[in-house]
Amino acid sequence: MVFTPMAAKKAKTTKTTKKKSLKTKIICLSHKEDCDGISSAALIRQAFGGDSLLVDYPGQMEALESLVADEKLKALYICDLGLSKKNQDQFVEMMGTLRKRGVSITYIDHHDIDPKITKQLEKLKVKMIHDINECTTVQVYNKFKSKLTDHAAFVAACAAITDYMEDRPIGSKLLQIYDRQFALISATVMTYNIVGHQKDPDYLLYLTEELADGKYPHEIPNTYEFAQIQVGKLAEMIAKVKKGMKTMKNLGYMEITDAGASGAVNFVLGLSGKDVGVAFKERVDHGIYAVSVRGSKSCNVHLGKIVNDLATELGGSGGGHDKACGAVIPKPKMKSFLKEFNKKLN
Ligand SMILES: [Mn+2]
């Protein structure tokens, strides 16, 4: 533009509207630890563009704080991140701050949620897409399929498999489109790449982008080789769990030092012969334990709800599904957690 006094005047008068148009950012905050979270972020990216912000449960509120401070934020999608008694009120407060600024918010999830919190979020006009019977990606697909490619159905089917929800009404229909073995191996390879790259945020973003671009896991370089290495580590884990696992009356448990707790927990469950398995790993820099919990098919209590209550009582946080959940427990309280959890399972 030629700079004339006229243009300068015009620029001045449009200053207020210019400030408004500074709000340009579209962000998807999603769960980085599993296929459902990464796949949700990929489909939101395909449908709406924008950037993905991938977090784990301990990092969830910190990331939200940075978003609350971001004046450029225009639209926020929050995927596959369940709330707990510890953080739900602060979450509502943050959503209130963002809504006051006119940020459009969509919350998509399938974890157990306090009905009181749902009501408060709905009152703030947060768009709630919440169904405990379908994984998050399947819900994202179902809601926004008009903006998505056919490949997105495949990504959603993979997420359903890894969240043990491929037998649900919508999830099972999506899986039927594909050869079952093809979907299973793709979902599994994707999972091993996600789990093995938890400390590599750039890779997780790259994976999200490739999925959003319509790539299959086998088209992304080295995914199968990487999965093979992860499988080898898991085989070593079986031997370690056999040796190091301990039991109480109602659960098996083990402290993990050299791998993720979530990779070991299914072995603790299976090899202990109990209906509940617990694996935990210290986060040295945070003074906490990251805890993973799994229940067997015959476990008939809602583990996510029990863990949410108990973790909150002990000054931590937690929650999740009936047979798969997690918690963050302050280091000195870990023994009490195991003892009390065992009691509550009676
Ligand atoms: Mn999920």
**Amino acid 20: pLDDT:** 52
Mean pLDDT of 158-178: 95
- How many Å lie between the centroid of ligand 1 and the Cα of residue 331? 26
How many whole angstroms from 55 Cα to the centroid of ligand 1?
Answer: 13
Does 208 share its domain with 310?
Answer: no
Q: Which of 170, 193, 225 is the last residue of a domain?
A: 225
Least reliable range by pLDDT among 101-105, 162-166, 220-224: 162-166
Which residues hold their Cβ within 5 A of ligand 1, which is an ion?
Answer: 36, 80, 135-136, 163
The answer as to whether 13 is a domain residue is: no
CA of 221 to the centre of ligand 1 (A): 25
Domain boundary among 187, 202, 225: 225
Distance 14 CA to ligand 1 centre (A): 45
Query: Based on the domain organization, do 48 and 116 belong to the same domain?
Result: yes
Residue 12 lies in a domain: no
| pTM: predicted TM-score of the whole model, two decimal places | 0.84
Residue 97 above 90 pLDDT?
yes
Q: Is 212 helix (H, G, I), strand (E, B) or coil?
A: helix
Of 201, 225, 249, the last residue of a domain is: 225
Asked whether residue 288 is domain-assigned, the answer is yes
| Ligand 1 mean position, distance from CA 196 (Å) | 18
Residues 211 and 259 in one domain: no
The yes-or-no verdict on residue 14 having pLDDT over 60 is no
pLDDT at 57: 87
Residues 276 and 217 in one domain: no
| Same domain flag for 211 and 244 | no
Cα 47 to ligand 1 centroid, rounded to whole Å: 19
User: Other CB atoms closer than 10 Å to residue 315's CB: what's the count?
Assistant: 13
CA of 18 to the centre of ligand 1 (A): 39
Centre of ligand 1 from the C-alpha of residue 110, in Å = 7
Same domain as 46, residue 188: yes
> Nearest 10 degrees: CA dihedral of 43, 53, 102, 48?
-20
**Separation of 145 CA from ligand 1 center, angstroms?**
19
Cα 285 to ligand 1 centre (Å): 27
| pLDDT at residue 18 greater than cutoff 70 | no
Q: How far is the CA of 132 from the centre of ligand 1 (A)?
A: 10
Both structure tokens of 58: 């301990």
CATH number for 142: 3.90.1640
Evaluate whether residue 5 is within a structural domain: no
CA atoms within 13 A of residue 114's CA, in its CB half-sphere: 16
The reply to whether 147 and 22 lie within a common domain is yes
Sign of CA dihedral 94, 66, 64, 279: negative
C-alpha 1 to ligand 1 mean position (Å) = 50
293 CA → ligand 1 middle, Å: 15
Residues 169 and 220 grouped into a single domain: yes
In a domain, 10, yes or no: no
Counted domains in the chain? 2
- Is the residue at 7 inside a domain? no
Residues 129, 201 within the same domain: yes
pLDDT on residue 21? 61
Contacts of 72 (CB under 8 A, 6+ apart): 22, 23, 24, 25
Same structural domain, 196 and 249: no
Q: Which domain holds residue 70?
A: 18-225
66-90 pLDDT tens trace: 999 999 999 999 999 999 998 999 9
Q: Are residues 90 and 124 in the same domain?
A: yes
If you measure from the C-alpha of residue 220 to the centroid of ligand 1, how many angstroms do you get, rounded to a whole number? Answer: 23
Q: What is the tens place of the pLDDT at every residue in 183-208?
A: 999 999 999 999 999 999 999 999 99
Identify whether the C-beta of residue 320 lies closer than 8 Å to the C-beta of residue 294.
no
Give tens-digit pLDDT for 256-289.
Answer: 998 778 889 999 999 999 999 999 999 988 899 9
Here the CATH number for the domain that contains residue 248 is: 3.10.310.30
Q: Quick one: 39 and 158 in the same domain? A: yes
Query: Is residue 6 a part of any domain in this protein?
Result: no
